[in-house]
Amino acid sequence: MGTINDIKTGRTALGIELGSSRIKAVLVDFDGQILAQGNHSWENQLVDGIWTYALSDVWTGIRDSYQNLAKDVKNKYDVELTTFGSIGISAMMHGYLPFDKNNELLTPFRTWRNTMTEDAVKILIQEFNFNIPQRWSIAHLYHAILNQESHVKNIDYVTTLSGYVHWQLAGEKVLGIGDASGMFPISDSTNDYDQKMIEKFDALIADQNFSWQLSDILPEILCAGENAGYLTEAGAKLLDPSGKLEAGIPMAPPEGDAGTGMVATNSVLKRTGNISAGTSIFAMIVLEHSLKKVHEEIDMVTTPSGSPVAMVHCNNCTSDFDAWVRVLDQLIVRLGLDVSKGKLYDELYFSALEGDKDCGGIVTHNYVSGEHITGFEEGRPLVVRTPDANFNLANFMRAMLNSTMATLRIGMDILTEEEDVHIDKMLGHGGLFKTERVGQTLMANALKTPISVMESAGEGGAWGMALLALYLIESQSKDKTVRTLEEFLEELVFSKQKSLTIEPNEEDMQGFDQFLDKYKASLSIQRAAIDALK
């Protein structure tokens, strides 16, 4: 009866995350326990050479995800959803969504996956003495300026996907600090955009005589626990066209999937890190001190509460593996066999643990799109082997999974070897870790560090966003002492969570190193494939 009453009275928090392949809604109680979920699958499109999602698909997906959540609540508790204690929106970080003064999108959404802004980042890195990744909003904006794109003069507002959805729901042009740190560099001392770099950018484009300056068109930054507005009547109808959802619900600062991944794995303390592995893969380490030098392979972002974080982000992870699973699934259908997609994934994953330590001489490249860490603007998925390679299912699957981690390892070596960054624990989450022990074992040996996976790891960023929405409720309470985000997560949520930790072993680490040597050497084949297959 307690849960039913909590849902009816809004003693809950809702988190919605727009991931690269799935939009997920998660409802939690005031202890952070998941009560119900809803999902919607979607895919990015390559349109005129740009990776994008149509805004109409954004709202179709959000509504479907919310409707599936409402159905789950109805089936489990026989209750209609009408209100929540708070709502939070999260989405893929970075990218470029420019709007004019009439709130019209000026160019199709350019996602994090696009790697065509090298001309811009070379100049910005030199000007700022700070690494600007190709997928950051400022890189896309300056690239458009350098290319003399006609839409730039009409810009009134630039935001990310989470900022856009929040704006439509709450009418507020704000952004959580973690997501904002993927738009423009953040000052550690002010928890705001770095003012000196803002001034440098304005000076850089002064000869363009735009009607705007950079600070005019960026979202206002908010930290975790700050109020980011309230669900409007129009916003409530966008989420729930049935009209059952009430307006006036407090909304948390919209965040990026990197920040919600940190929250979902309790990786917001210094010397902790997390690995998010799905369509893309990235590792984030909360730093004790600033890095000694600028590394173009390493992004500097923040936790949702503003602590500095080093991020190694790779555009490609499981997409190529997923493509092979689809092919094998088609074979199973042709043979008239009844094997679920989940069973197929599990068996392929488990087979990888039976493979040779070095994958038997098989090398695969998972580059569906470009990869900045290794210097590729485009990708060509590859399978390469010598005639005498030990080519069997186990080795093939191990090579496929190792390739999802290889570029990440190249970036992580910069932090651990060149910058002497110390990591006490790494936590894994996302699709790569769903099959018990497999991705976790291979990742521990790839990164040469223990990898933990919590019981909640499969919940991912939508759950992390729901926890941030829950933290908003605590932070706005007037009748108790407010805990820091780190204290809130440690004491309320993760003190009850069980986790499994897998240690690397010497033989498997050596095997991955041998695979990685071949992987690096074969990058010249990747370049040849790109040149040959236009």
Residues 6+ apart with CB under 8 A from 386: 361
pLDDT of residue 451: 94
Is-contact 144 86, C-beta < 8 A?
no
Cα–Cα distance for residue pair 284/298, rounded to 1 Å: 10
The arithmetic mean of pLDDT across residues 231-243, rounded, is 97
Q: DSSP class of residue 491?
A: I
Q: Has residue 242 been placed in a domain?
A: no
Evaluate whether residue 411 is within a structural domain. yes
Q: What is the pLDDT of residue 493?
A: 87
pLDDT tens track for 392-424: 999 999 999 999 999 999 999 999 999 999 888
Tally Cβ neighbours within 10 Å of residue 147: 13
**Is 1 a residue whose pLDDT tops 70?**
no
In a domain, 414, yes or no: yes
Q: Is the pLDDT score of 16 beyond 90?
A: yes
Q: What is the pLDDT of residue 461?
A: 86
- pLDDT value of residue 327: 97
439 within 8 A of 400, measured Cβ to Cβ: no
**In whole angstroms, how large is the CA radius of gyration of the chain?**
23
- Enter the DSSP assignment of 292: S
Report the share of the chain in percent with pLDDT over 70.
99
Reported as a single tens digit per residue, the pLDDT across 425-473 is: 899 988 899 899 999 999 999 999 999 998 765 567 899 999 999 999 9
Q: Tokens 């040149």 appear where? A: 531
Residue 246 has pLDDT above 90, yes or no: yes
Quote the pLDDT of residue 457. 55
pLDDT at 504: 95
Question: What's the rounded mean pLDDT across residues 247-276?
Answer: 92
- pLDDT tens across 358-391, in order? 999 999 999 999 998 999 989 999 999 999 999 9
Task: For 50, list phi and psi in degrees, rounded to 5.
Answer: -115, 130
Tell whether 424 is covered by a domain: yes
Both tokens of 48, joined, read 């005129």
Tell me if 445 sits within 8 A of 438, measured CB to CB. no
Average pLDDT over residues 170-181: 97
Query: Rounded mean pLDDT of 254-265?
Result: 90
Query: Quick one: pLDDT at residue 291?
Result: 87
Tell me, what CATH number does 384's domain have? Answer: 3.30.420.40
User: pLDDT-based confidence at 103, cuts 50/70/90?
Assistant: very high
Token readout for 483 is 């805990």
Mean pLDDT of 335-344: 95
Instruction: Write the pLDDT tens digit of every residue in 32-63.
Output: 999 999 999 999 999 999 999 999 999 999 99
User: What one-character-per-residue DSSP string does 309-374 give?
Assistant: EEEEEES-SSHHHHHHHHHHHHHHHHTT----HHHHHHHHHHHHTTS-TTGGGEEEE--SEEEGGG
In a domain? residue 389: yes
Q: What is the number of other CB atoms lying within 10 angstroms of the CB of residue 473?
A: 19
At residue 30, what is the residue type?
Answer: F
Q: pLDDT for 489-510, tens place per residue? A: 989 888 877 889 999 999 999 9
The answer to the question of residue 161 being in a domain is: no
SS3 148: coil
pLDDT of the residue at 498: 83
Identify the pLDDT of residue 24: 96
Which two tokens mark 419?
């910058």
- Look at strands 369-371 and 376-378 and give their pairing: antiparallel
Nearest to 493 by CA among 474, 512, 515: 474
Residue 118 lies inside a defined structural domain of this protein: no
Candidates 258, 192, 197; CA nearest to 222 is 192
State the residue for tokens 């000076």.
Answer: 203
**Number of domains into which the chain is organized:** 1
DSSP letter for each residue of 403-472: HHHHHHHHHHHIIIIIS----SEEEEESGGG-STTHHHHHHHHHHTS-EEEETTGGGHHHHHHHHHHHHH
β-pair type (186-187, 192-193): antiparallel
Strand pairing report for 451-454 and 425-429: parallel
Q: Tokens 């392949």, residue? A: 21
Amino acid, single-letter form, for residue 11: R
Taking the alpha carbons of 525, 526, 531, 534 in that order, is the dihedral positive or negative?
positive
State the pLDDT at residue 258.
Answer: 86
Alpha carbons 16 and 164: distance in angstroms, whole number: 13
Average pLDDT, the chain: 94
Full domain range(s) for residue 352: 319-451+502-532
- Tell me whether residue 514 is in a domain: yes
Q: Mean pLDDT lowest for which of 139-143, 144-148, 184-188? A: 184-188
